[in-house]
Amino acid sequence: MATETPPPSKTQTRLPSSEEFAEVQQSPEFAELRHSYRSFAFPLTFAFIAWYLLYVLLSSYADDFMGTKVVGNINVALVLGLAQFLTTFLIAWWYARHAAAKLDPKAEAIKSRMEGGA
């Protein structure tokens, strides 16, 4: 007596085959998703690393500049150090907005097409 596998219910998702994954990876939609991600993440990552290294280099080699008082006992080094934290949070916020607007809809369309077997 052979047992049949019931069709997936609305709560179950169909698992795509490895061939389907390879096919989607070669699709124009996936290439567009990858391009959208890379065109945002790579330049921003490069810019942030450059900004961080500039801060480290200034801290190491420009003592007089970094020690310049801005207001009271607050100097340039403290302002730039706090700006590192600020830019980190701004980049995270900006990426979340970018992902929600551009990446997530494309990824969801690919996912639902694969899980739905369309």
**To which H or E segment does residue 112 belong?**
helix 104-116
Give the span between the Cα atoms of 8 and 98, in whole angstroms: 33
Is 80 exceeded by the pLDDT of residue 12?
no
pLDDT in tens, 50-66: 999 999 999 999 999 99
pLDDT in tens, 93-113: 999 999 999 999 999 999 888
- Please tell me whether residue 69 adopts helix, strand or coil conformation: strand
Confidence of residue 115 (pLDDT cuts 50, 70, 90): confident
Count the neighbouring beta carbons within 10 Å of the beta carbon of residue 33: 20
pLDDT number for residue 113: 87
